[in-house]
């Protein structure tokens, strides 16, 4: 019980006639990297938005750290959201602020740190993502990979318990993708927080995942270690794996 960070019970969501989530059941373990894979437009982002309370489900429950969040009002949700850090798909940096101000923003709003302490923390976070020299740059001056790194620094700055990643490698070239994945893995190994990653990049995800959940047709059809997933005999799973043409699969423990 204690090692479950997020528990989702029978979650349903439709937009008009379109059923997006059709009974999701999932337990996400504390202190692990759980990757939710699925095809584009398959409801992964919708699931992520439910976990953070940006969307309300039609039915079902979501437990975060012992609190059922679907019935909470904004005030209650905000208490839960303080446990989260989120790296959005395009990083969602505030483009009216420079890199430093973006990373400092959560600190200024949620802590009473003096300026010196804010300076120190932001510097440390930027160093972790190797962008120390870019503090004065505006988001529009950065490449996609750099923006994601700043987004990661901002997501981590308040030491949240759970960090959500929305397609961390989308729109990046393979090499930059790898550096982002390594950065995710490295920070998780060091900080031991719960990471939830959604992605369609199955190859990249096997590199970092402790657990993989496959979302298909609004349900989780397979959930296990990368090793187990790879050996899954389900047709949909095999199809997805074949489509990504993994030559010599590496990573993931049995």
| Residues engaged in binding other proteins (CB under 8 A) | 49, 52, 54, 74, 77-79, 81-82, 84, 86, 88-90, 92-95, 105-106, 109-110
Q: What is the C-alpha radius of gyration for the chain, rounded to an integer number of angstroms?
A: 18
- Copy the structure tokens of residue 191: 């900080």
Least Å distance, CB 194 to other proteins, is: 15
What is the 3-state secondary structure of 82-96? CCEEEECCCCCCCCC
Closer by beta carbon to other proteins, 110 or else 120: 110
Least Å distance, CB 31 to other proteins, is: 21
Least Å distance, CB 81 to other proteins, is: 4
CB 20 within 8 A of CB 11: no
Give the whole-angstrom CA distance, residue 20 versus residue 12: 8
Closer by beta carbon to other proteins, 88 or else 206: 88
Closer by beta carbon to other proteins, 25 or else 161: 161
Least Å distance, CB 69 to other proteins, is: 13
Closer by beta carbon to other proteins, 96 or else 253: 96
Closer by beta carbon to other proteins, 56 or else 82: 82
Closer by beta carbon to other proteins, 44 or else 207: 44
DSSP 3-state of 40 = coil
Least Å distance, CB 226 to other proteins, is: 28
Least Å distance, CB 67 to other proteins, is: 14
């Amino acid at each position: 019980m204690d090692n479950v960070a997020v528990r989702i019970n029978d979650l349903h969501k439709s937009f008009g006639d379109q059923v997006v989530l059709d009974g999701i059941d999932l337990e996400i373990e504390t202190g692990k990297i759980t990757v939710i894979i699925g095809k584009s437009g398959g409801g992964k982002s919708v699931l992520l938005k439910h976990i953070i309370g940006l969307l309300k489900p039609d039915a079902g429950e979501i437990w975060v750290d012992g609190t059922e969040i679907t019935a909470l009002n904004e005030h209650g949700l905000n208490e839960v959201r303080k446990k989260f850090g989120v790296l959005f798909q395009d990083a969602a940096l505030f483009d009216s602020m420079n890199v430093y101000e973006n990373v400092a923003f959560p600190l200024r709003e949620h802590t009473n740190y003096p300026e010196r302490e804010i300076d120190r923390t932001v510097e440390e976070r930027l160093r972790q993502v190797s962008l120390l020299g870019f503090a004065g740059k505006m988001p529009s001056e950065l490449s996609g990979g750099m923006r994601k790194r700043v987004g990661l620094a901002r997501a981590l700055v308040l030491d949240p318990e759970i960090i959500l990643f929305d397609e961390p490698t989308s729109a990046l070239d393979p090499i930059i993708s790898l550096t982002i994945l390594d950065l995710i893995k490295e920070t998780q190994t060091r900080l031991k927080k719960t990471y939830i990653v959604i992605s369609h990049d199955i190859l990249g995800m096997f590199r970092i995942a402790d657990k993989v959940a496959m979302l298909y047709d609004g349900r989780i059809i397979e959930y296990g270690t990368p090793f187990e997933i790879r050996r899954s005999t389900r047709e949909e799973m095999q199809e997805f794996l074949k489509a990504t043409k993994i030559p010599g699969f590496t990573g993931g423990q049995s």
